[in-house]
Amino acid sequence: MRLLIALYLLLSSTVSFTQVQFTWSEIWSIAASQSVCALDQYNNFYYTHQQALFKVDSTGKQLFSQSIKQWSGITAIDVRNPMKLFLFSEDQQVIEYLDNTLTKQQEIVDLSHEGFSFVSKAITSSQPDKVWLFDTDNSRVVLYSKKTTQRQQIDNIYGLLGAQMITQLLEYNNQLYIVDPTKGIFILDTYGTMVNFLDIKGVFFIQIENDILYYLKERALHFVNLTTKTSEEIMLPIEGVKRFYKNGQRFYLQTEKGIKVYSIK
């Protein structure tokens, strides 16, 4: 909470910013190249390495592991619900759900049998048993459910937004954030109406926590207050960070070689 208050002050005025000093303290690290990762609300961390999926606790201690040799590649792990992990494979066009011990929960969903041409992005929704899917070939975003009567669809997403390259979907506060590094960040309601736009180019991945949007650019971590639209940045403690995962005062920084975990004060 103290960090969030500090970040709020940081974003609210330049005077407050000069009074706040951030210190990065490394907690632990994992060697894992080209991993797909996720962080849940309890600071359990999930990552792929050498044809296996691992779950470690907040201290880095391994809790569970599961072979993923049957997958040609996991593209995304979503742990919005830590009791129901969501795995997506772009190559195989399938979705699978695991429980909190990494045990298979239900039958794999084959998206090619669900009327999709080629899904490149997939995330869970806050709405039970629904997921957001970006069907690239058909330029549409679908709020998918196994119950076809409950599906919502936004057609011609490239034409609608003037987007050229979609690298991430993220749902926050019943709004869908669509990241296009060539344009910026489009914010839509669940019916497909654009309610806001952030003119931030060169961003591939974002995270939102308590109405503060975070993104990487060059060697800095940027903060944008979604209410005031003010922003600031802080230099990262290491170079080569490709992606980050944040929960409270914890930052998990991913490089080509692995993940380093820091606390910030």
| Mean pLDDT for the stretch of residues 61-65 | 98
The pLDDT value recorded for residue 174 is 93
Q: What is the DSSP letter of 172?
A: E
Tell me the pTM. Answer: 0.90
User: How many CB atoms within 10 Å of residue 240?
Assistant: 11
From CA 214, how far away is CA 197, in angstroms rounded?
A: 15
**Domains of the chain (ranges plus CATH)?**
1-31+205-265 (2.40.10)
From CA 46, how far away is CA 40, in angstroms rounded?
A: 8
Burial 252-261 (b: 16+ CB within 10 A, else e): bbbbeeebbb
Query: Per-residue pLDDT for 20 more than 50?
Result: no
The pLDDT value recorded for residue 39 is 98
199 closest CA partner among 220, 180, 185, 214:
185
H or E element in which residue 147 lies: none
- Paired tokens of 79: 């742990």
Nearest-5° angle of CA 83, CA 92, CA 47?
45
The pLDDT value recorded for residue 258 is 96
Burial of residue 159, with CB atoms counted within 10 A of its CB: 0-12 exposed, 13-18 middle, 19 or more buried:
exposed
| Mean pLDDT for the stretch of residues 97-104 | 96
Half-sphere exposure of 239 (CA within 13 A, CB side): 0
- Paired tokens of 90: 């772009």
Nearby residues of 173 by Cβ (< 8 Å), 6 or more positions away = none
